[in-house]
Structures are given as structure tokens and as C-alpha cells.
Amino acid sequence: MLSATRAAGAPRRPGSLGAVVVPLLILAVALCVALAGWALVFVVRDRAVILKQLFGAAAVEAVLLVQAVVAGMQLLGGHSVDGALFWGYVATALVLLPVAAAWAFAERTRWSSVVLAVAALTVGFLEWRLWQIWGAA
């Protein structure tokens, strides 16, 4: 599991893995906003979602997974949050993007780009809420 965090290039601070959770959440928000922006450009240009955007969504999903694993380890290590709320948001964020990407890709009009933008913004919002929940406890 540690190798997963190194592979993502997350900054390593000996003994304080928890310091990585918030930067990962911020990174996730930024990537979601970027993906949504990319999709919105396609909406304006009247284009459907392309494969490259699905790879982009997969990259965001990878960051979400790494963040979930790191947060889980940190919670085992003693960080306290509202567990049901936190994992509810994590699970929703993880499920949403792949399902929405498949749903969007099956539509070959500009509306598919709107679907991807909506999904990316929603995941970005969830990650931002996770950031609040993580810091609140």
C-alpha cells in the first residue's frame, strides 16, 4: 500500500502520512475541476466525450483510490473522523466517475460532455467536502 503512495508521487514525510491526505484531496479537487473544464470546452465546441478524456477520468480515479487507501491507513493510525460520513463520501466519489464516464461515452453528442462535466464537478465537490470532514474531527 505504501508503494501506491510513492507511485503517485505524493510527498513523503517520515512518520506523518496524514500530512499527505489533505494535499491529495486538494489534488483531487484540482484534477476534477480541470477534467470538468476540459469537458466544458467540448460542450462549447459541440463535441462528444473522447477516449483521452476517459483516460483523464481514470487518472482522477487513481488519485481518489490512493487518497482512500492513505486516509484509511491514517484512520487506523488514530486520526478520528465521522466514519460513516467520511466513507460514504469516499465510496460515492469512487463509484460516480466510472459509472458516469460509461454513461457519457455511450452518448455520441455534446450532451455526453455535459454528463462528464457534471460528474467531474460533483466528484470535485465531494472531495472538497471530504477535506472539510477530514479537518473537522
Partner 1 sequence: MNDVLDQRAAARPGGRGTGRGFGRVLVTVYGILAFAAVGRSSYELATKFSEAPVAYSLSTFSALVYVVATLALAKGRGAWRTVAWVAVTIEAVGVVTVGALSLASPDVFGETTVWSGFGQGYGYVPLVLPFVGLWWLWRRRGDADHADHADPAAPAATAPTTED
Query: What three-state secondary structure class fits 13?
Result: coil
**125 vs 131, which CB is nearer to partner 1?**
125
**79 vs 129, which CB is nearer to partner 1?**
129
Instruction: Give me the torsion for CA of 30, 36, 40, 46, rounded to 10°.
Output: 140
Measured from the CB of residue 5, what is the shortest distance to partner 1 in angstroms?
27
**79 vs 110, which CB is nearer to partner 1?**
110
Measured from the CB of residue 108, what is the shortest distance to partner 1 in angstroms?
4
Measured from the CB of residue 55, what is the shortest distance to partner 1 in angstroms?
17
**88 vs 135, which CB is nearer to partner 1?**
88
Contact footprint for partner 1 (CB under 8 A): 84-85, 88, 91-92, 95-96, 99-100, 102-109, 111-112, 114-115, 118-119, 122
| Exposure string for 26-35, b = 16+ CB within 10 A, e = fewer | ebbbebbeeb
**For the residues of 44-103, what is the DSSP string, one character each?**
HTT----HHHHHHHHHHHHHHHHHHHHHHHHHHTT----HHHHHHHHHHHHHHHHHHHHH
